[in-house]
Amino acid sequence: MTYRRILHRTWCDVASLAVLRRWLRSNVPSGVDSADAELVCTELVANAIEHGGGARAVRITVDSGHVRFEVDDCDATAVPTLGTSRFGRYRGRGITVVDALAAWGIAGAERGKTVWARVEFAS
């Protein structure tokens, strides 16, 4: 089972993440831990909004045993990193959560970058 879903939309504020969560619930297969998948994808989009000049597109690719999220943003220079929060004790640990739940990485792009995460599941 392989399929790909693409949601082209520009997210500029975190209030629009509710739309993304509804879309994820209808596009992520039933075998995937939906809470983990929602958390990982939502965090990638929130990071793109807050640090990457906005999210331009979200792609979901489901393949045997994993679901991959790709989030395109508008800023190639703002790269997510693991470590202590630069916002203090109460914020800024989202990529640490993503790292605990998924393999992830960064790919450069002409108009920004793509941050991806792959969540494994029992197929």
Give yes or no for a contact between 37 and 67, defined as CB atoms under 8 angstroms apart. yes
* Per-residue pLDDT tens digits for 19-50: 888 888 887 777 777 788 889 999 999 888 88
User: pTM of the full predicted structure?
Assistant: 0.84
- How many structural domains are present in the chain? 1
| Residues 110, 107: Cα–Cα separation, whole Å | 10
| Residues 106, 5: Cα–Cα separation, whole Å | 20
| Residues 54, 8: Cα–Cα separation, whole Å | 12
| Residues 18, 21: Cα–Cα separation, whole Å | 5
Q: Where are the alpha helices (DSSP H) in the chain?
A: 17-27, 34-51, 94-101
* Per-residue pLDDT tens digits for 96-113: 899 999 999 999 767 789
